[in-house]
Amino acid sequence: MRVVIQRVSHASVTIGGVCKSAIREGLMILVGIEEADTREDADWLCKKVLNLRIFDDENGVMNRSVTDVNGEILVISQFTLMASTKKGNRPSYIRAAGHQTAVPLYEYFCNELSIGLGKEVGTGEFGADMKVELLNNGPVTICMDTKNKE
């Protein structure tokens, strides 16, 4: 699983002209899933996301997590995160998981984040044409890949 995490002042996702989810201060997470990904990958990511200290403390030091600041989370499925650009100029998405693998794992990831956060996590709609709007606060953007845990 690959994620791009952005610390935001606010974020929203609109589908067909209707706002599906919106959050205030917190994290907007794009998530890409490949066929080899498992619940263990999702569990590792949930733990990292919920404990990632990227919010400022009273001294202006990034020392607080999204749970520490009572923040919110918006999770958007993003198969293009699995793009391979090794050959040519057209990205290949062959590594991206199909719906049978990706949808249950995406839903599991969102549910586990909701449990850990203690409130509902906002979501997009898997496979939909989504318009995502956000105000990156910092900017702070972190990329993680469960196959390359650095």
Catalytic positions are 78-80
Is residue 99 exposed (0-12), middle (13-18) or buried (19+ Cβ within 10 Å)?
exposed
CB 42 within 8 A of CB 50: no
Instruction: Report the alpha-carbon distance of residue 137 to residue 8 in Å, rounded.
Output: 5
Residue type, 67: T
Residue type, 34: E
DSSP 44-109: HHHHHHHH---EE-TTS-EEE-TTTTT-EEEEEE-GGGG-B-SSSSSPB-TTBPPHHHHHHHHHHH
CB 146 within 8 A of CB 37: yes
